[in-house]
Amino acid sequence: VLDADNADAEFDAAITQLRQAGLPIPDIEAILNQADTAGAEEVTTLALQRLSERLEALEGERRAVQATIDAVKQGAIQPMPAR
């Protein structure tokens, strides 16, 4: 017998974790839609793919921020004057 309350709590927790990881709603919807029609392995594969894509994007942003920090430290970017 499935415990509906427990299943709902696990479902809500999964959504919360995916949102905290920064996945957009459409990605979460795709994962949840897959969960309705596919097995656990397919859902896991899709979730890992979307999370990996998110991590890659974050790493790109981090590199861009680090490059700007380095440019400021080297004096290549001057602070903006007050208006």
Q: What is the pLDDT of residues 7-41, one digit of tens each?
A: 788 888 989 999 999 999 999 999 988 888 888 89
Q: What are φ and ψ of residue 79, in 5° steps?
A: -60, 150
- Report how far residue 9's alpha carbon sits from residue 51's, in angstroms, rounded to the nearest whole number: 21
Token duo for residue 23 = 């996945």
pTM summary value: 0.73
Q: Fill in the amino acid letter for 18.
A: L
* Residues 40-67: tens digit of each pLDDT: 899 899 999 999 999 999 999 999 999 9
- Report how far residue 1's alpha carbon sits from residue 41's, in angstroms, rounded to the nearest whole number: 22
Q: What is the total residue count of the chain?
A: 83
Distances in Å between the Cα of 60 and the Cα atoms of 17, 42, 53, 81 are 22, 27, 11, 29
